[in-house]
Chains A and B, each alone.
Chain A
């Protein structure tokens, strides 16, 4: 079945540091890929997405590129802020008869210190 593997956390960075959270996936066909963010005590929010190979999703300074050859969708940000502290989830949605099914990674906790 489909699966998503995320870089294990927690990740602790200083403010203005560069962020990379790795995400690789296994899926049949060509899924859509997503990053979600969960702030403490809240539900998940869609951060960015990419729907086909070589697409780059971006939002709030975060970016991720859909790499079909390496089945990866790594999340990056050039300069993190304290307010970016949250849990980040990589996810995929399949484009087949099970299109209602979505698969999430285990989440990576990011803490940014001033």
Chain B
């Protein structure tokens, strides 16, 4: 089944403790992206990648890192999480052409206390 898999689904952590949210896709998509969803703020793009070793900032990159060492994986790294990063995170992937819509993962609910 074609899908984007994120892990974990739920995570509660403490301020300053480094964490990684994994994302993997099995569709051989070139483009991958991370979004955060917050009430009243909609969906905001954190980082995106157009291919292996090619990443760029989205609208809200501060406090996040990403890497794209393999085509299928695009982990999101929070080196020193803070409470304002409490959010619902989505990973998504699509084909290279801009006319392809994104396939989204099921989301990761992160709480930083």
The chain A residues found within 8 Å of chain B, CB to CB, are: 31-32, 34, 36, 42-46, 49, 51, 89, 93-95, 98-107
Q: Indicate which residue in B35, B50, B92 contacts A99 across the interface (CB closer than 8 Å).
A: B50
Q: How large is the interface on B (under 10, 10 to 19, 20 to 34, 35 or more residues)?
A: 20 to 34
**A102 adjacent to B33 (CB under 8 Å):** yes
Is chain B's interface secondary structure helix, strand, loop, or mixed overall? Answer: strand
Q: List 10 A-B contacts (CB under 8 A).
A: A36-B101, A44-B104, A98-B56, A99-B98, A100-B31, A100-B48, A100-B49, A101-B45, A103-B45, A105-B42
In the assembled complex, the CB of B51 is this many whole angstroms from the nearest CB of chain A, namely: 9
The chain B residues found within 8 Å of chain A, CB to CB, are: 4, 31, 33, 35, 40-45, 48-50, 56, 58, 90, 92, 96, 98-99, 101-107
Give complex CA distance A44, B104 in Å. 6
**B56 adjacent to A100 (CB under 8 Å):** yes
**B101 adjacent to A49 (CB under 8 Å):** yes
User: Apart from A36-B102, A93-B99, A103-B45, what 8 extra A-B contacts exist at CB < 8 Å?
Assistant: A36-B101, A49-B101, A89-B42, A94-B98, A99-B31, A101-B45, A102-B33, A102-B45
Chain A residues with CB under 8 A of B35: 104
Given contacts A102-B45, A104-B43, contact A42 B106 (CB under 8 A): yes
**B43 adjacent to A101 (CB under 8 Å):** no
Chain A residues with CB under 8 A of B43: 44, 89, 104, 107
